[in-house]
A and B are shown apart, each in its own frame.
Chain A
């Protein structure tokens, strides 16, 4: 009798549990229905639904039952991608006078630019050095809803501009590496920028820091006109990042020869060697005269960093999606630009838990529309390029939460049906 009642109870329990799952307590917090999922890591480019639970991707599949969700997002006709990762932003905003991109007002605040462009992770690119990282963490990282990471500047004072960034004696390999290791939840590598003398010492120092911390470095190869071929083959390691790849400035050694307008022969071999090339568009670092010949020659940038700051936010750059759209205008396709702003940057910063929609992954998601029309884009020299497609952010989710919903495509949440 007792055995029977236990059996009975178990059956009853199973029935109830099942009823619970089907009818009363939704299985998923949010289901994104009908979108085209692009997930480079998992090689997905297909119409699929995405279900979220507890801030994680619970399921990616065909025809997930909407009645299992508290909230439905109708993404018909849209692209559903991992939350975009901008490896090159300047978000160490502050009001200290003459502090440039390190607690000064040339930086911007992260949340105002990220979510409306589908970005869920921003890497501040050298704003803070080991001396200012704590302030950066307290003022910005801890207060932002965006996931803010850091390329720590090899200069202790960080990106304060002018003389600070020329001070080789403030480039302390050990202290920089220690700060990075102590904060490895946030620090993903090291940045060198704006150095103007023809001297390899800063490059050697930053690579030494990279070796100590086992992290990549990202180089803005400022001035001095040192040969980038040497940088790529003699100084940097595979996995190190070269930013502002399409710059054409007097003081820099360009990737496209200025006379012949052809891609210089060592560039693709450098990429094959493992050097990672970032756009880093910014206010002065993107020229169609470099990008178009390079792309025609078969060279695609690895990463589509924005170099977001007050000098680029309202200029030719504007935001992450505008940078992607510019690359569409130059002939790249949608999966290519999405991969280069999701899984590729995640790998570059060795944060393999980001940039994809694997089941169990953090539910950082961008939902994007592609507008068709006639659009104009500019480079930093004022040259104009037309395009017929433009990406628009419909929705951004971070850790499973809707952070931005342009056209109110999410249904209202139904709690405990």
Chain B
């Protein structure tokens, strides 16, 4: 009997020392959260384990002893890192607007605190300014920064640059995109003021040359968007500022009847991608509410982040998502439209999901319940009962933001 208990004791000791000495299987384990992963059709309570910057396991009840750092996500949502496909991050100190100027923002202050791990700069740089964008911003940011290259060589320098059709070179633009295809995901046309289809034809030509989508801010000239959707754009091309109501633009909701125009849902069925692109002047409840009531949901939730929107009605990515909750969309819908949907739209299907082996870009979000107010760019007000708050953001498996210190300290002695 005594021998047996000794044996037992020894084997227990051996076992426990073995476990302690062993390298932890996972660097981080996120426990107890509700995972939303649209690609993998997951919408339930799961644990997420990370190793070597990648998603290592996603399952119910992963043993916390296997992880060197534990994140308690009880009552929170665990989602892929958000992707904002409409941001303006080509900041600089020259008088160059959104192309190396003060109207744009360096990304890291605005991304991680809003659960965003990837931003796509939406046309700040053109082929002539891309290298500077890369050296000053992309290479210096912890956020993953991608680019819709402007069809204008000088990029988004404002007028008269953006009106100069001679500087819209489809060939050079496509070449620059292909030479930087780890960063460039498509092309942007914006702010063009004349009633001419030439810029649209040029950007689609660049898109065809590079086999990449285009994203259109359909500036002015009041050209009909129905023609844009059915005659000029290809399935997979993106129309941004979808809920704008401005004199210069052709709207999706008829201004007299306040009804969604009949060609909009067919255009979406055809494959046109509709981006919010909220910005400082591009989101009206008078467009969005009737459209959503008519069964039209935007495909992607781009912010159009810049200095003119950051402190206004837009604020940040999570505020944009919360506004859509206030208009009746549900949490999985707004999450999928800011994770897997934008990943597909920019053809970066390595992003926006939590598949095992995927890069561990993760957002952990709380939903606050209460009485919240939101505004559109016209000053109209909408009340909501839910508001997202970013609890934690991980980029490539590293914690880059932790609002309430929910991570345990990592065990270092191994």
Contact = CB atoms under 8 A, between A and B. Distances in A.
Interface in B289-309: 307
Given A112-B109, A115-B311, A412-B379, A95 B400 contact: no
Contacts of B310: 111-112
Contacts of A310: 108-109
Contacts of B400: 314
Interface in B356-381: 372-375, 379, 381
A110 B129 CA distance: 25
12 contacts: A93-B93, A95-B93, A95-B136, A105-B136, A109-B91, A109-B102, A109-B307, A112-B310, A310-B108, A376-B406, A403-B311, A406-B315
Contacts, number: 75
Interface in A378-409: 378, 382, 384, 403-409
A199 to B, nearest CB: 34
B412 to A, nearest CB: 11
Contacts of B315: 116, 406
Contacts of A95: 91-93, 100, 136-137
B311 A109 contact: no
B404 A376 contact: yes
Interface string A354-384: 0000000000000000000001111000101
B113 interface: yes
Contacts of A316: 405
Contacts of B109: 108-109, 112-113, 310, 313-314
Interface in B137-172: 137, 140
Contacts of B110: 112
Contacts of A313: 108-109
Given A105-B140, A139-B93, A408-B373, A384 B405 contact: yes
A105 B140 CA distance: 8
Contacts of A408: 313, 373-375, 381
A116 B375 CA distance: 16
Contacts of B406: 376
Interface residues of B, number: 34
A161 B161 CA distance: 37
A172 to B, nearest CB: 25
B93 A407 contact: no
A109 B373 contact: no
A347 interface: no
A94 interface: yes
A404 B112 CA distance: 20
B318 to A, nearest CB: 12
A109 B306 CA distance: 12
Contacts of A412: 379
B105 interface: yes
Given A95-B92, A314-B113, A105 B106 contact: yes
A404 B311 contact: yes
A143 interface: yes
A382 B412 CA distance: 13
Given A313-B109, A377-B405, A384-B405, A111 B311 contact: yes
Nearest to A379: B405
Interface string A288-325: 00000000000000000000001001101010000000
Given A139-B93, A310-B108, A407 B379 contact: no
Q: Most chain-A CB neighbours within 10 Å: which of B91, B102, B136, B405? A: B405
Contacts of A384: 405
Contacts of A143: 102
B409 interface: yes
Interface string B76-97: 0000000000000001110000
A30 to B, nearest CB: 15
B402 interface: yes
Nearest to A316: B405
Interface in A89-113: 93-95, 103, 105, 108-109, 111-113
Given A378-B405, A408-B381, A112 B105 contact: yes
B260 to A, nearest CB: 25
Interface in B387-414: 400-406, 409
A409 B137 CA distance: 36
B138 to A, nearest CB: 12
B220 to A, nearest CB: 27
B409 A382 contact: yes
Interface in A107-147: 108-109, 111-113, 115-116, 139, 143
Contact of A109 (B105, B372, B375): B105
Contacts of B112: 314
List the 5 closest pairs (A to B, CB-CB), nearest first: A408-B373, A376-B405, A407-B373, A376-B404, A95-B136
A41 to B, nearest CB: 27
B242 to A, nearest CB: 22
Contacts of A111: 307, 310-311
Contacts of B404: 375-377
A379 to B, nearest CB: 10
Contacts of B91: 93, 95, 109
Nearest to B132: A95
Contact of A314 (B105, B136, B401): B401
Nearest to B400: A314
Nearest to A140: B93
Interface in A192-225: none
A375 B109 CA distance: 22
Contacts of A378: 402, 405
A316 B409 CA distance: 13
Interface in B88-131: 91-93, 100, 102, 105-106, 108-110, 112-113
A314 B405 contact: no
